[in-house]
Structure 1
Amino acid sequence: MAMSIQIESFINTYGKEKRIEENNFELILDGYHLYPMDVPIYVKRRESDTPVGEGIIKSLLLSEGKTKIVYTLTALKSIN
């Protein structure tokens, strides 16, 4: 049985991120997504948007058709 997976080069939040504490956020997405770990990558609202900042993914969990990441926002370029 094949499993569909997307390889990501930046974080698309789609406005679904939840602040855990200070600059740490949790994001749960439908489907399976692989991200680079422990390196800064751009954070965007949507694929076509310009980056709003940079984040470092600290944890990645693939389970039951969903992806859960926890990332630290390390740079903020815009609040809108």
Structure 2
Amino acid sequence: MGMGLELNTMLVTKGKEVRTEDNLFLLQKDGYRLYPMQTPIEIRTTKRSHSRGYARIEKIQWHEEKTTIFYKLISLNTTN
């Protein structure tokens, strides 16, 4: 029996991110997901929306079929 795993190259927030400090955010997603860490990754609200900027994922936790992503916003394309 295998574990379902999704590999992502873009961070899609759907507006569910939570700011923990100045430029540090937490995002929880259903299922087990894998993202590149310690490298700039594009961040969008939806898959089809314009890029909001770039983030660097600092930490990923898998627990009870959820992925928690801790990331730092490193550049912002717009203030909205």
Shift of 1:48: 1.1
Shift of 1:32: 0.8
Partner of 1:62: 62
Counterpart secondary structure, 1:21: coil
Partner of 1:23: 23
- Letter of the 1:63 counterpart: H
Displaced runs of 4 or more, over 6 A? none
Unaligned runs of 5+ in 2: none
- Letter of the 2:33 counterpart: H
- Letter of the 2:16 counterpart: K
Shift of 1:78: 1.5
CA RMSD of aligned residues (A): 0.8
TM-score (norm 2): 0.96
Partner of 1:72: 72
Q: How many Å separate the matches in 2 of 1:33 and 1:6?
A: 5
Shift of 1:2: 1.5
Counterpart secondary structure, 1:52: strand
Q: Does 1:53 align with 2:58?
A: no
Unaligned runs of 5+ in 1: none
- Letter of the 2:50 counterpart: T
Shift of 1:50: 1.5
Partner of 1:43: 43
- Letter of the 1:77 counterpart: N
- Letter of the 1:43 counterpart: I
Shift of 1:77: 0.3
Shift of 1:42: 0.4
